[in-house]
Amino acid sequence: MIYKQFRKITMSAVLVASITLPSVVKASDTISISLSKAIEIGLSKSATIRIADKEIQRVDYSKKEKFAALFPSVSGSASFSNALIKPKMYLPVAFGPGMGPGYMPSLFAVDNTFGMGVALNVPLVSPTLWESLKMTEVEAQQALESARASRIDLINLITKAYYGVMLVEEQYKVLNKVADSKEQNAKITESKFKEGAVSEFEWIRADVEARNAKSGVVGSKNAIYNSILRLKLLMGLDMNVNIVVEGKLSDTESLMYRDVLSIDPSSFDNNSDLKSLDLATSQLEHALKINKAGWWPTIMASYNFQYQTMGLNKMALKEYELFPVSNVGVSLSIPIFDGGARVHQDKQLQIQLDEQKDRRESLRQTLKMQILSSLDNIKKTLDKFESDKEGLRQAEKGMQIAQKRYEVGAGVYLDLTNSELAYIQAGWQYNQSIYDYLSAKADLEKLLGINTNIK
């Protein structure tokens, strides 16, 4: 029974450690990284962050594209037409004294028409265009916020992955310590068997448990390897680069309470979801202003210059005389009636704005609930940590006492196995409580839109 429990805990440690986590230098080098360094590398190499940065560049070019509408637009043109059915031209003529002027058909028909020139248009008053330009500022802010959200998510994942590597490394140390103890106990039991102090069955059981413990240690090493691969993947590192994480979970003990006190859970204005919702609301407000601006007149200035000519039964351009034509003008466009389409669009946008207000209030309540839940998790993990820390100290002491008693013949092997099982359980709970605290703290920082691990 005890052997089955030990094997179950060993295999559970390997399995849980391998799934607890959700990647400059030469591949042959081994580099030691801190959490802040891991985050720095991840932010500089992650494909997700590069995509977000490119989106910012795209929005910037889109902004410049819309601002180009404020500048004059210049276009050139050239045209040629040939008359399939020749038109007649009527010219005024005088018929004689007392008869007055009259018109008679021209004897000349126009075959070909040539024209070439340039045109220039400048918007003088365009309320819709001006409001559209203001919309681009909101779009730029949305791209920046989207990039910030990507960074916050990546920091959260890297932080958990980093602490996850520490967790499986600490579990490895616990299993390895028990494996060494079992190997030593197996040798002691073998000596006692040869002396006739214990049965062959007890020696065989001790030997099997020692070998199974070594197998568990090998599996734990594989869990460490897989967790480091996940960390390198998140960091954007080459899989062949060898890395080791600095420190251990127990190093964070002295910082636990200080870190919690440094976080202000009452302010979540930096939450990325809340900021994105506010920007979406601002975009709707500008869309409403753009739609209302459509009621206002627009004024455009224009200028064009052309050379024109018409030909009579000839195709050669050199036979023609080009005449310059130039115009300058101002056009006024006043919207009068559109069937009520714009009115209905205004009402739709206003309803969407009202919906956004309700969404914001709902999101704020959800965030408050999540923050309170995170704080409660942190409080519980801190309470559990204190108990697990004392439990580990007692379990280690109990295992040492059981080993000495068994060596001198004052204890039985069952007591020794029980103490080792208790030590594994205590070590697992102790390390898991630290990881749970660090994970809950990372989730709280993500909710608040902050990070205390960036130096």
Return the amino acid letter for 417: T
C-alpha 228/C-alpha 240 separation (Å) is: 11
C-alpha 163/C-alpha 155 separation (Å) is: 12
The pLDDT, as a whole number, for residue 4 is: 45
In a domain, 431, yes or no: yes
In a domain, 36, yes or no: yes
The pLDDT, as a whole number, for residue 162 is: 95
Say how many domains are in the chain.
Answer: 1
The pLDDT, as a whole number, for residue 353 is: 92
In a domain, 163, yes or no: yes
The DSSP secondary structure of 27-63, one letter per residue, reads TT-EEEE-HHHHHHHHHHH-HHHHHHHHHHHHHHHHH
According to DSSP, the residues that pair with 78 across neighbouring strands are: 116
The pLDDT, as a whole number, for residue 319 is: 58
In a domain, 453, yes or no: no
In a domain, 85, yes or no: no
In a domain, 342, yes or no: yes
Cβ neighbours around 93 below 10 Å, total: 9
Helix (H) or strand (E) holding 178: helix 127-194
In a domain, 118, yes or no: no
Question: Per the confidence metrics, is the pTM higher than 0.85?
Answer: no
The CATH number for 158's domain is 1.20.1600.10
In a domain, 93, yes or no: no
**Which residue range(s) make up the domain with 331?**
2-80+123-448
390, 426 contact by CB (below 8 A): no
**pLDDT lower than 50: segments of the chain:** 1-27, 99, 107, 316, 455
Cβ neighbours around 69 below 10 Å, total: 13
The pLDDT, as a whole number, for residue 8 is: 47
